[in-house]
Structure 1
Amino acid sequence: MDGKKRRRPIHLHVMVSEEEQALIRERMAEAGVRNMGAYMRKMALNGYVLHVDLSPVRELVSLQRRCSNNLNQVAIQANTYGGIYPNDIKTLQKDYADLWGPLSDLLKKLSEIVAL
């Protein structure tokens, strides 16, 4: 060495599998980082792990499909017979209200996660 003191004199060693190394390199590429030491240091100091339960999203997707199906049925009714029954409109309104309540709750939870 040329006598300079290192800024980071402590060496850390971590063992990973080939699959883990490939995943680390993939995430480095996604982040636009080429230096593995810099990436590992940044993740160890500032990174965090999120575990997201997507079951509410699945429920919302199911509700969304039902609403879309009902809307298509009403459109077919209107185009074929020229009219829409008030009960059909009420059903659509209820379905959309059922969809927006959970969606609003999910968005609140996601905004709390982002605020971390």
Structure 2
Amino acid sequence: MTNRNRTNPVQFYLSDDEQYNPQHQIQSIRMKSMSAFLRKLILYGYVYDVDYSYLRNYNTELGCISSNLNQIAKRVNSTGNIYQEDINEVKELMNKVWRTQKSMLSKQPLVR
């Protein structure tokens, strides 16, 4: 415990009814602990949860697209030739990037 950044304890008591509300909120926004929840609430005056799952899906999709583009680039560099099929595939991949980008930008993060 010597490496603890927060060395000033704060202690207060809640009734059973009062304690239900923070515990319920902590579970609904998936906070790590009551201490973290209360610290944010005291320091910032509010606590919210933002759903970034659409960004994870977006990054996964872009990773797949970039992998395909890298495979095409490797094939072109190793053979020294580019084929119409490669050009068409790159165009389709770029269209997929733009569709994914447009889809991602149209979504608003869900604030709980």
TM-score range, shorter chain: 0.5 to 0.7
Query: Take 2:49 and 2:37, find their aligned partners in 1: how far apart are those partners?
Result: 16
Matches within 5 A, 1:1-116: 14-15=18-19, 19-25=33-39, 27=40, 36=42, 39=43, 42-43=45-46, 49-52=48-51, 54=53, 56-110=54-108
TM-score, normalisation: structure 2: 0.54
Larger Rg: 1
Query: Take 1:106 and 1:88, find their aligned partners in 2: how far apart are those partners?
Result: 27
Mark the runs of 5 or more structure 1 residues left unpaired by the alignment. 1-12, 29-35
Mark the runs of 5 or more structure 2 residues left unpaired by the alignment. 1-13, 24-32
Q: Which amino acid aligns with 2:105?
A: L
Q: Which runs of 4+ in 1 moved over 4 A?
A: none
How far the C-alpha of 1:23 sits from its partner, in A, is 3.5
Residue-pair matches, total: 84
How far the C-alpha of 1:94 sits from its partner, in A, is 0.9
TM-score, normalisation: structure 1: 0.52
Query: Take 1:93 and 1:79, find their aligned partners in 2: how far apart are those partners?
Result: 18
How far the C-alpha of 1:82 sits from its partner, in A, is 0.6
Higher RCO, Cα 8 Å, sep 6+: 2
